[in-house]
Structure 1
Amino acid sequence: MIVTDRNPRSILAEVFGYSEFRGEQEAIIEHVIAGGDAVVLMPTGGGKSLCYQIPAIAREGTGIVLSPLVALMHDQVMALRLAGVRAGALNSSLAPKERREVEAAYLSGELDVLYLAPEQLASAGSRTVELLKRGRIALFAIDEAHCVSQWGHDFRPDYLKLGALAEVWPDVPRIALTATATPATHREITERLHLESARHFVSSFDRSNISYSIVPKQNVRAQLLSFIRDEHQGEAGIVYALSRKRVEQTASALRDAGINAVAYHAGMAAEARLEAQTRFLREDGVVVVATIAFGMGIDKPDVRFVAHIDLPKSVEGYYQETGRAGRDGLPSAAWMAYGLADVVQQRQFIEASDGDQAAKANQSRHLDHMLALCESVTCRRKYLLEYFGEREIADQCGNCDVCLEPPKLWDATVPAQMLLSTVIRTQKERGRTYAAGQHIDVLRGVQSDRVAQVRLDELSTWNIGSEWSATQWRGVVRHLVATGLLEARGEWGVLWPSEAAKPVLRGEAQVHMREEVIARKASRSSGGGSKRSAAAADLTPEQAEVFERLRAWRADEAKEQGVPGYVVFGDATLAALAVHQPTTDDGLLAISGIGQVKLERYGAAVLMVLAGRGE
């Protein structure tokens, strides 16, 4: 698109089809258009991309977008092209002829936006650097800027070298953007990218449309299947697991249960990973089961849930992963099942890692914060927002499991003392200790061959805790390990009391924890039968029928063009079309998400579908 009106609001309406900016978008865009540097912290789904795409279109030259996501550049470029933006990408996936065409378009000033991977600028004398010097650059956008943090959860060494952009192109504005940054990471971004003179825009990290829920892990596969069937049947979602084997087993189990699921992890062949990602992005209702190798930069707006069946390593990782749900602003869910084995496993990973003591201490701090979120008896959202530096927030969000179903607290001081005493006595009197299950058997008086062999039934703590269930005892163990009163050591996770346990044993400190909730309340979804998508949930039956016709048309159109459906139109746009059912071009332009280019491309077909004459 050759822009004649470079006013940001005109570009917003004509190219992207929106009538109003959100939050600080307009201030950021005007600052960058005027030549200023910016650091932007904005939650996933907050509209970060417009903050550099509109200035790239408005300013003379080409906007250079540095993104670590080579696998997703194609879809990002196609989405811009369908909106009329002249976009391209240079990455390792291009054939030599395609690369020459993109380079020629850049040198001749025929690109508004050019995507690059950071490693292409890692060397000052690289071919790409020399190419960029020969053209005119409108701005540099450093996406996923938290990757520069060496103590963060997603460190990429090539990001450290991007600070040199200020030296090579001192007059070109730079904008660094991320959705995941604590105050410490924010400082690292500023310092390492040499953005000390930049203007900082920090939005609230609150994603109010996401409902957070953390449940005690029992039979996690059955719990996951129930969660998907009861609340998100037929909807797109992401399930995160820690190991490749667990990913494949879970995906297979979901498929066996009739869920349209695919696996994704770094151990798969590149072709298989690409096929899984493509299906997830371009088909409706696909669930991808993945390791953390999947997800950064996923632009799919209609992901209705993100589930974790293993404990994330950090709050930053958890927040970024859950943020991939509900980018379209519609109701979505972040669900996690968490148990004692997760805590033991993560501690073991840290101890076995190759890092030095400083690195291990940092990993432990990250894990401690994650455990505190899981064990919290206060609002999940409040904890998350305070972690990212937001203090002036309400005590209750009304959209997390703690707020919706307030947990009952119980004084676990006595059982904690019993458990700690049992651990100590097995050490002193039997010269050894055990993993959690054996100690729980002692406390509940459960006979076994091991008990008889080592005469554990002669311990003074034998059967003193029979009034509590095995589930409650597992919760006590998990809580004590999570809070550092017990340590789980070695390959088998044997329990040892820490120094912090002494005040509890002496009665100088109390232990309060939440009751385990085994049977969750009935789902808040509609129950039996097929569940409407979130976008169609508030539509009348007649409007829902129109919505489904539009979705069918969109699926055919997207398949023909080889792009995800949301690149054509998002669900929110289709829902608005179903509600208002415009009959003219002007009516279509009044719908959020329809700009001039998409009107010209799709307007006639959409009007036919709305009139019931085409699909």
Structure 2
Amino acid sequence: MDECNDNWEQVRAAFQRIWGYADFRPPQGEVVRSLLSGRDALVVLPTGGGKSICFQLPALLQTGLTLVVSPLVALMENQLQELHARRLPAASLHGELPRDRRRRVLDALERGRLRLLYLSPETLLSAPVWERLCRPDVRVRGLVLDEAHCLVQWGETFRPAYRRLGAARTALRGCQAEPIAIAAFTATADSRARQTLSEVLHLRRPAQFVQSPYRANLHLNVLVMTPHGRRQRLWRFVRDRADRTGLIYTRSRRDCEYLATWLQERGCVTASYHAGLSAHERRDLEADWMSDRLRFIACTSAFGMGVNKPSVRWVVHYQAPQLLAEYVQEIGRGGRDGNPAEVLTLASEPTGWLDPEDKQRQQFFADKQRQQYERAERLARQLPSEGEVAAIARKFHDGAIALSLLHASGRIEWVDPFRYRRIQGCHRKPPLVLWEVEDFLKTRDCRWRFLLSAFGCDAEAENFRCGNCDNCR
């Protein structure tokens, strides 16, 4: 017992030395203990809850390499910048790296000089990286999935490499003697999402740490507006907060660019941010916003993860997002310093008579999903009993996405991250992702109470009133 206490005091001392905090915030210490013991973990902590430290500290204290699978370059580089400022052995691999830096990272990987390596799921499963990780002298100790909700939201129809991550542990395990633990970290995961993560990642009796998404300093508001009224309300809102940092979320690149131009014409210093910009343009915009050269930007969901600015005082959704998880993630950019932040959603009236664009947008996404499912059904009839993912992707349009959907429906399993095998028997149909936020927009109940119930925090939701949302007020 004394030895365990001594070891834990060493862990706390390392935490204090590296990060300078007096002690862990609950449940950081418990998560760190679990990861140090080599156990799988599923961790759901609210935005700003200090998730990164929970997996960075165990990786730095142990020998071997921890792979951190991350969805966006900005997220990787933000965490890496903080680690390098503390002179810690970490690196990243992604498509935006200059060739000489990529070569240095691969050399450090082969020489065992890294404790943390950040990469996307696509980079992890690329041949040059995978071959190096499988070398007998490279010891992989852990696989961490950061922003794990991306597997649930994107893994079937956008970034299918996510659904193959569960096969990575077994494949890497065949190359080394030591066991590999898997941990998933996110700020938003309801019970269905947690079940999906456990199944896809093949988590083994994971330690689960689940906290509610409630942030008392985020004051939620919803306004139902006509198209003209929505623009004018946005303009007044932004004009009255010209000296405060904020974000405007839109659902498409077109709306993002249109709003930025429309606000610029009214004297606002702003810009649009979306995935269609070059990596250099996105980094410049992030830097301008972080340094307050731009007080606010109009952006799509491409902006936010990995950009940590504590003093964001307002977040506006010009259109409601599709998923409640998206909504909670995006409003979580506000008020990270603990001070109050306004959250405003400008919704169109639900019939579509006055503003058909939102209804049309919902229909577009629903139709696109149905088409992807139909292509997967057609592909299922043409698949050989076993095959390679790369070969199917080359032969069929959206072949990798179709395989991902077939995996979600139980029609195939992964032999390893690069090969599949058909499964005979009963299958389930992956559910269409519907417009989850509709009931949230219409509720007359406390908005935070609605979100707590939606994310499975039923005990906390009972008789809950935040006192700060539009319905409570």
TM-score interval for Structure 1 and Structure 2 normalised by the shorter chain: 0.7 to 0.9
**Partner Cα separation in structure 2 for residue 71 and residue 397 of structure 1:** 33
Q: Which secondary structure state, in structure 2, belongs to the residue aligned with residue 338 of structure 1?
A: strand
Given candidates 18, 21, 40, the residue that maps to 1:18 is 21
Q: Where does residue 401 of structure 1 map in the other structure?
A: 470
C-alpha distance in 1 between matches for 2:365 and 2:103: 46
The equivalences for 1:437-476 within 5 A come to none
Summarize the Cα distance change of 1:345–1:283 in structure 2 as closer, same or farther, 3 Å threshold: same
Cα distance per residue 1:521-549 (max 9 Å; x no partner): xxxxxxxxxxxxxxxxxxxxxxxxxxxxx
| 1:335 Cα deviation after fit | 0.8
Q: Distance in 2 between matches of 1:152 and 1:328?
A: 32
Find 1:34's aligned residue among 34, 37, 43: 37
**2:223 aligns to what?**
215
Q: Report the alpha carbon displacement of residue 321 of structure 1 after superposing the two structures with TM.
A: 1.5
Distance of 1:82 and 1:380 partners within structure 2: 40
Distance 1:272 1:355 in 2: 34
Equivalent pair of 2:76/2:306 in contact (CA under 8 Å): no
Q: Distance in 2 between matches of 1:6 and 1:128?
A: 37
From 160, 166, 178, give the equivalent of 1:157. Answer: 160
Alignment correspondent of 1:234: 243
Matched, 1:329 2:396: no
Q: In structure 2, the residue corresponding to 1:180 is in which secondary structure?
A: coil
Q: Residue 434 of structure 2 corresponds to which residue in structure 1?
A: 366
- Partner in structure 1 of residue 315 of structure 2: 306
Gaps of 5+ in 1: 405-615
Asked which structure has the greater CA Rg, the reply is: 1
Q: Is the 8 A contact 1:379 1:402 kept in 2?
A: yes
Contact 1:63/1:114 (<8 A) preserved: yes
> In the aligned structure 1, how far is the partner of 2:82 from the partner of 2:157?
26
Q: Distance in 1 between matches of 2:283 and 2:46?
A: 27
CA deviation after TM superposition for structure 1 residue 214, in Å: 0.5
Matching residue of 2:130: 129
Which of 173, 180, 183 is the equivalent residue of 2:181? 173
* Equivalent residue number for residue 235 of structure 2: 225
Query: How many Å separate the matches in 2 of 1:349 and 1:6?
Result: 55
* Aligned residue in 2 for 1:418: none
1:92 corresponds, among 90, 95, 100, to 95
Change (3 A) 1:329 1:294: same
Matched, 1:288 2:297: yes
Asked whether 1:353 is paired with 2:420, we answer: no
Is 2:118 the counterpart of 1:118? Answer: no
**1:61 corresponds to which of 59, 64, 74:** 64
The CA RMSD measured in Å over matched residues stands at 2.7
Shift of 1:48: 0.9
CA contact (8 A) 1:66 1:118 kept: yes
User: Any unmatched runs of 5+ in structure 2?
Assistant: 1-6, 174-178, 350-354, 375-428
Secondary structure class of the residue paired with 1:334:
strand
Mapped contact 1:307–1:336 kept (Cα < 8 A): yes
**Offset at residue 355 of structure 1 (A):** 1.6
Change (3 A) 1:319 1:150: closer
1:364-416 Cα deviation digits (max 9, x unpaired)? x631x311111111100000110011112243111211112xxxxxxxxxxxx
CA-to-aligned-CA distance 1:490-547 (integer Å, 9 cap, x gap): xxxxxxxxxxxxxxxxxxxxxxxxxxxxxxxxxxxxxxxxxxxxxxxxxxxxxxxxxx
The number of aligned residues is: 396
SS at match of 1:164: helix
Q: TM-score, normalised by structure 2?
A: 0.77
1:355 counterpart SS class: helix
| Alpha-carbon distance in structure 2 between the residues aligned to 1:136 and 1:54 | 18
The amino acid of 1:166's aligned partner reads R
| Counterparts of 2:346 and 2:211, CA distance in 1 | 29
TM-score, with normalisation over the residues of structure 1? 0.60
Q: Which residue of 1 aligns with 2:81?
A: 78
Superposition deviation, residue 10 in structure 1: 1.6
Give the CA deviation at 1:225. 2.5
Alignment correspondent of 2:203: 195
Aligned to 1:572: none
Q: Which stretch of the first structure deviates more once superposed, 240-249 or 332-341?
A: 240-249
Mapped to 2, the partners of 1:78 and 1:361 lie a distance apart of 39
- Which amino acid in 1 is paired with 2:263? L
One-letter identity of the residue aligned with 1:353: K
Structure with more relative contact order (C-alpha pairs < 8 Å, separation 6 or more): 2
Are 2:260 and 1:260 aligned?
no
Which digits, 9 at most, give the CA deviation of each residue in 1:27-51, with x for residues without a partner?
Answer: 0101101211111111211111111
Give the secondary-structure state (helix, strand or coil) at the position aligned to 1:212.
Answer: strand
Structure with the higher strand share, 1 or 2? 2
CA separation in 2, counterparts of 1:315 and 1:136?
39
Distance 2:25 2:263 in 1: 38
